[in-house]
Structure 1
Amino acid sequence: MSGWIDAHHHLWDLGAVRYPWLMAKGEKRFFGDPAPIQRDYLLEEFRAEAAAEGFAASVHIQVGAEDGLAEARWLQSVAERNPDWPMAQVVFCDLTAPDLAQQLDQFQSLPTVRGVRQIVGRAPGEDAQTGTNALLDDPRFLAGLQDAGRRGLSFDLQLVPELMEKTARVLALAPDTRVALCHAGSPHDRSSAGLTVWAEELKHLSGLPHVTCKLSGLGMFEHDWTADSIRPIVETCLEQFGTGRVMFGSNFPVDKLYSGYRTLAGAYRGLVPAEMQAAVFRGNAASFYGLTAAAA
C-alpha cells in the first residue's frame, strides 16, 4: 500500500518560530522528557521517515507556538516550497477571543489551513495547573466552534477521558463543525479498569456523527508500548467509530521519543484489518482535511 496520509504530526524550526514549552530546558512534560526533540524537526526529516513506510502526504497540527499565526505562515511557506508533498494544517486559535472573526480571516487567507485546535485537556496533572478545562463552560467557546463550522473549518479536539461526557454535550450544539478527536481521547490509565472507563466515556463522542477519531499519540502515556498493549485501544476505536471515522496519525516527533516510524506504522498495519486500511490510512484523512496524496 502506498499514498497514505499521516493525519497528525508536527514540525518546528526553532530559528523561525518560538515554542516556549519546547525551549524550556529541564522541564518534564506529561509525555516525558522532551530533551531529545528540543531541536529543529523539519519536513525533510519527517518526510524521509514517513515516505519509507508508504506515506505521501500529511496534516500538520499546531504545537504550542508563542504566535499561532506566525507558525501557520511558516508552515504555509514550507508547503509552498515542497509542492510534491501535499500538506494541510490545523492552526491554533483561541475560539474565545474577542477578535475571533478577524483571526480566522487571517488564517483562512493561507491555502493550507483546514481547521483549528485549541486544547481542552492534555493530562490530569497539567490540566489542573493550566485550567484549560474551563473552556467547556465558556459560551464563547461554543460560539467559536459554531463559527468555525460555518466557515468550513474543522476542530481538532484534544482532551482526557474525564472530560468526554461534558465535551460531547458542547459538541452536540455545534453539529456542523467536523471534529477530529486527537490521540483516541488520551487514554492515560492503561490498566484494565482504566481502559474500561475510557471505552465507556468514548461512547459519548463516538455517538456524535460529526466526530472522527485519530489513532495517534498512544506512546505518550505508555512509553514501552507494544502492538499487543495498544490493541484494545485500536479495536475499541474501530468498533465505536467504524471504518469511515478513524484515521492514523504518527504524532511525530513527540512519539519518536518512544519508537521509530517503521515500528509505529508496522504496528498499526498489523492491528487495522486489511479491508479497513485504505480508509484509515488514506481515505478518511483525505476527505476530512481535503487532501490528496501525491503519487508514490
Structure 2
Amino acid sequence: MTARIDAHHHLWDLQAVNYPWLMAKGVRRFFGDPSPIQRNYLLDEFSDEARAHGIAGSVHVQVGADDGLAEARWVQSVADANPGWPMAQVVFCDLTKPDLVQNLGDFQKLSTVRGVRQIVGRAPEEDAATGTNALLEDPRFLNGLRMAAQLGLSFDLQLVPELMEKTASVLVEAPGLEVALCHAGSPHDRSAAGLRDWSKKMRALSDLPNVTCKLSGLGMFDHDWSPATIRPIVETCLEQFGPERVMFGSNFPVDRLYSDYGTLLEAYLELIPQGAQQDVFHDTAARFYGLNVRRR
C-alpha cells in the first residue's frame, strides 16, 4: 500500500506560540465551540492517530498565530526533531506589507516552507466583521501573490463560494502561482440549492489549471455529516478538478470536534473511486508540496 499524506492539518503549543483566537475563552467561532481543542495539540498525538490509518507524512497549515514567523520556526523545530515524519508547512505572511520580500526571504530560510496562506474568507458572518474579503480589492495583495510565485511559493486559498468568481479574476493576473483551494471552497450552505450554487461558482476556480482542490474541513459547516451528506461535495470536486488536482486533508484537530480520524478517512475511502485514491491520498499532495513520503 502506498503511504498516504494528510495535506491539511494544524499543530499548536500554547506555551511556545501565541494564538489569540485559540486562547480566547467563551468565543464561538464559525466552526462551532473551540473549547475542546483549546489545549496543546502536538505531533505525537496527531501522528499516532494518522499513522493508524496509513498516513506517513503531512502538510502543516498556519493557524492564526499572532506572529507567523514565530509559528513557522516552531513548526520547523518540530519537523527537525521528528525526521521520521516528513512534514511540509504553509505559513502566514501578510502579502500586502511593504517589507514582503524580506519577510518571504525569512520564511524561505526554513526548509519545510512550501507556501503561504492569507485567508480571504472564513464564513459570511465572520467576514462581515473582519473585512478580510477586502484583500481582493487591494492591488498590494495581487502583487504579493505574484511575488510569492516568483519565489517558488504556492498559495493556500481559503474563501467562501460568494468570493470565488472575484478571486478567480485576481488569480488570472498571477498565472505562475500554484494555488491550493482549502476545504473545497467552504460550501457553507448544504441545502440542495446551496450546493448547486457552490458547484456553479467553483467552476471559475476549477477552470484555472494552476488551482488544486483540498477535500478538507467539510465538518466545519455540517457537524452531523455522514458519507451521504458529503458525497455531492466529493463527487463535484473530483469531476471539476480531476483526481490529479484533488488531495485529502483532515483539518485536524478542528474537524476532530465532529469526528475521529478513522471515521473521517473511511468516509473518503468509501466515496473516492479506487482508481482515484493514489492521486487523492498521495500523489497530488506529494507533487504540489514537494513532499517525499516513502511507500511501504
Query: What is the TM-score with the length of structure 1 in the denominator?
Result: 0.99
Unaligned runs of 5+ in 1: none
Say yes or no: does 1:131 pair with 2:131.
yes
1:167 is matched with: 167
CA distance in 2 between counterparts of 1:95 and 1:44 reads: 32
Secondary structure of residue in 2 paired with 1:114: strand
1:248 is matched with: 248
Map residues 214-229 of structure 1 onto 2, 5 A cutoff: 214-229=214-229
CA distance in 2 between counterparts of 1:53 and 1:292 reads: 18
1:294 deviates by 3.7
**CA deviation string 1:226-260 (max 9, x = no partner):** 00000000000000000210000000000000000
After TM superposition, where is structure 1 displaced by more than 4 Å over at least 4 residues in a row? Answer: none
- State the one-letter code of the partner of 1:278: Q
**CA deviation string 1:180-226 (max 9, x = no partner):** 00000000000000000000000000000000000000000000000
1:20 is matched with: 20
CA RMSD of aligned residues (A): 0.6
1:60 is matched with: 60
Q: How many residues align?
A: 296
Secondary structure of residue in 2 paired with 1:88: strand
- State the one-letter code of the partner of 1:106: D
**CA deviation string 1:16-71 (max 9, x = no partner):** 00000000001000000000000000000000010000000000000000100000
Map residues 1-296 of structure 1 onto 2, 5 A cutoff: 1-296=1-296
- State the one-letter code of the partner of 1:241: F
Contact kept? 1:286, 1:292, Cα under 8 Å: yes
**CA deviation string 1:112-159 (max 9, x = no partner):** 000000000000000000000000000000000001001110000000
CA distance in 1 between counterparts of 2:270 and 2:150 reads: 38
Overall identity of the aligned pairs, in %: 72
Unaligned runs of 5+ in 2: none
1:292 deviates by 1.1
Secondary structure of residue in 1 paired with 2:7: strand
CA distance in 2 between counterparts of 1:257 and 1:145 reads: 32
CA distance in 1 between counterparts of 2:189 and 2:293 reads: 35
**CA deviation string 1:54-93 (max 9, x = no partner):** 0000000000001000000000000000000000000000
Query: What is the TM-score with the length of structure 2 in the denominator?
Result: 0.99
CA separation of 1:79 and 1:269: change in aligned 2, threshold 3 A: same
1:293 deviates by 1.1
- State the one-letter code of the partner of 2:49: E
